[in-house]
Structure 1
Amino acid sequence: MTVEIMEKAHIAKNKPFYTELKKGKRYLWCSCGLSKTQPFCDQSHVGTSFKPVLTVGQYDGEEVLFCGCKQTKNAPFCDGAHNNIDDEYSSDYPNSSENKNVLEVLADENGLAMLDGGCYVSIVASVAREEHENISVGTLISEKQGAQYQSQFYLESSQGQSSVLSFSDSHVVILVTEGKGVINISGKNFFIAPEMGIYVRPNEAFCIKNTETENIKLFASVCPSAEAPKILDSMPSNFAEDYPDRTIKANSDSRNRMADRYWEVLVDKQVGCTMATQFIGEIPESKALPHRHLYEESLVILKGSGYMWTEGRKAKVTAGDIIFLPRKQVHSLQATDPEGLYLVGVIYPGDNPSINY
């Protein structure tokens, strides 16, 4: 019997290569990892089993991340595989001489700690809210605060049935952090509880039914962004039955490993959401190496404490805070709690929260 030994690609770089493409131009990505013109082929694969992978620019300025570790299953693009090369996620030393010079920023009277490049930490309890019937609404992220793709609202529902809310033709991704009850989405009821993701499709509406004395607390991310929800006189009966399942409870069996971290998708295209991805994750006590994403991201801290770092500033984060990250902003999230940080994020545009550069 002949045993075929598979050749292993050389790791050219532990991070992907950010590249802006030109429309119609052909690019040959190096798959063997031996090329001296990374991430592109220079024929170093000749004599091996590897072959370059062709991609053609779709438009001028198209932003892509070519895989540098050569372990991707989405060749030629990064799929986050570089995060699992080592058993521990790439970390930074928070007490280095360089990091000691980083300025700690405190929250202002509105509960906002502004970092570099439009990144900020917001203390949710300090945000002003508008009162409607059995529900209050506070704006956490919007175009006015620098967001391009998503807005986020804090919702708190008291006992009884709330007003009917609509975000028109936007996609709405909701996270429940406290309380139990029922959400009615365009005429269909769903039980809701903490650590549950909810998806409301464009042109649908929703209201919250709270039969308990404890308030239900939720975070609604809206893509594309909206200034505020519309308050409707009645609930429409236009529930889209092609995706009948709209609530997703966190389940440790669905975790994706990222070195010594994990993440798990809650809301994504599997329930019909093509505009954004909601995930839940855990970060052990550590500080990540500074990195960037091609997507815009919002994070809700569920448990633990730490710091959000940018180039020259850092701000404390704790349970109940939210973080807004613009596209391509250098940042690093540090967990200082021995039990780590537990959080939920929404990214747009993107479907894989492990991709970074």
Structure 2
Amino acid sequence: MTGHDCSLDCPRIANRKPYYRELRAGRTYPWCACGRSTRQPFCDGRSHIGTGFEPVQYVAKADGEEVLFCDCKHTQTPPFCDGTHSNLPGGYEDDDTAAAGPQPPIVAAGTDGFARLDGCCFVVSPPDSGDRYQLSTLVAPSLGAQHQSQFHLRLTSGASPVLSARGVDAILWVRSGNGEIEIGERRFALSAPCGVYVRAGEAFRVHAATALTAYVSACPAVEALDEQADMPPHFDQAWPERVVPIDEAGRTAMGPRWFQMLVDKRIGSTTAAQFIGHIPTSRAEMHRHLYEEALVILSGEGIIWNEGSAARVRAGDVIFFPRKHLHALECTAPEGMDVVGLIHPGDNPGINY
């Protein structure tokens, strides 16, 4: 896509994907807005003359600040990537040639239920003890996470204990069942599937009208959820809406894929975001993210590829990706694959490099 022609009244696409850079505090970085600079992603001081575009001067906030400078030049958040490149002509690519080369070995789950891949990347399937109430750890600092945790809650009847995420945000994905959730002095109806947001300092308790399962994320990461004897009354009235249902009208295209934001800054979550998405039968090209991600497979099956290993995934599994970890998810199911993801720190699952 380099060298794509464009008239002078629109930016030229310099490169398809964003440019990763670690910055120096106080230094000014002149981002090229026209796409014609010879020193991408930065302005060369001359190529924009006569185009009507001017470079964006970005001053780094801290040493080592990590950014993804937009190189397609169509971002709505200049100078940074917002994922727009995926929806430009030729902007989203599947890796159709990967299967032709040598493939890394498929790793099976160990006796603990974890299939461990490169680095701290892993796949885990929630256990089922058959108890009325069960809370299982899927992602935690002791398992290699630095920015988020995830727990699997299973409740066949009645109420769960009062739970809190040790002073940080908790975000739930209610996968099955219905009932209610108490958050402080408020109660909300639950009808799967839906997302739920519990703010830092609040506690929650789940009531099952029918057998209910949920994935509970804590951001930033904690080793465990705390059980409390009583429900503290605190509820942050500044953010009264806490349950987010599926809404097809809220979908955002990402090439042939789509996602819908669930829990994000619209209801008060400023550093973490939850989304649901659909992946058609395909294999994504290898890529990285600046956020940490836990991805729940809701339906379908496929393979998660790392550089040196791979694992099969199916409905119910959770894949954990560390920040900047090279990976690609392949969907092998004819009907496609539905997923729900939790990213932290970050607010846009469409950004990768």
Length-normalised TM-score, structure 2:
0.95
Distance 1:95 1:80 in 2: 23
Greater mean deviation of Cα atoms: 347-356 or 157-166: 157-166
> Is the Cα contact below 8 Å between 2:8 and 2:51 reproduced in 1?
no
8 A contact 1:122–1:322 mirrored in 2: yes
Partner of 1:32: 34
Give the whole-Å Cα distance in 2 for the aligned partners of 1:59 and 1:312: 34
The residue type paired with residue 48 of structure 2 is: H
Q: Of the candidates 137, 140, 148, which is equivalent to residue 138 of structure 2?
A: 140
8 Å Cα contact 1:183/1:192 also seen in 2? yes
Deviates more, 1:137-146 or 1:187-196: 187-196
- Shift of the alpha carbon at 1:7? 1.1
Alignment equivalent of 1:336, drawn from 308, 332, 335: 332
The aligned runs of 1:270-309 (5 Å cut-off) are 270-309=266-305
CA contact (8 A) 1:116 1:310 kept: yes
Distance 1:70 1:88 in 2: 12
User: Which residue number corresponds to residue 86 of structure 1?
Assistant: 89
SS in 2 for 1:298: strand
Q: Which residue is 2:62 aligned to?
A: 59
Where does structure 1 lack aligned partners over 5 or more consecutive residues?
Answer: none
- Partner of 2:206, secondary structure, is strand
Counterpart selection for 1:101 from 99, 103, 106: 103
DSSP 3-state at the match of 2:86: helix
1:71 aligned residue (53, 70, 74): 74
Structure 2 distance, partners of 1:278, 1:154, is 16
Give the structure-1-normalised TM-score. Answer: 0.94
List aligned pairs for 1:155-194, cutoff 5 A. Answer: 155-194=153-192
2:205 counterpart letter in structure 1? C
- Asked whether the equivalents of residues 258 and 278 of structure 2 are also in contact (C-alpha less than 8 Å), the reply is yes
Q: Describe the shift of the 1:253–1:6 C-alpha distance in structure 2 as closer, same or farther (beyond 3 A).
A: farther
Q: Is the 8 A contact 1:34 1:44 kept in 2?
A: yes
Query: 4+ residue runs of structure 1 moved beyond 4 angstroms?
Result: none
| Residue ranges of structure 2 left out of the alignment (5+ in a row) | 1-6
Q: Give the CA deviation at 1:6.
A: 6.8
CA contact (8 A) 2:177 2:209 kept: no
Which residue identity does 2:167 align to in structure 1? Answer: D
Output the amino acid matched with 1:77: F
For 2:99 and 2:303, the matched residues in 1 are separated by: 15
Alpha-carbon contact 2:183-2:198 (below 8 Å) kept: yes
Query: What letter matches 1:200 in structure 2?
Result: V
Task: Determine the C-alpha separation between the residues in 2 that align with 1:86 and 1:193.
Answer: 39
User: How far 1:117 moved relative to its partner?
Assistant: 2.2
Number of residue pairs matched? 346
Greater shift, 266-275 or 173-182, is seen at: 266-275
Residue 176 of structure 1: SS of its match in structure 2?
strand
Whether contact under 8 Å (1:135, 1:157) holds in the other structure is yes
2:259–2:275 CA contact under 8 A, matched in 1: yes
* Cα contact 2:127–2:136 (8 A) shared by 1: no
Residue of structure 1 equivalent to 2:3 = none
What root-mean-square deviation, in Å, do the aligned CA atoms of Structure 1 and Structure 2 show?
Answer: 1.6
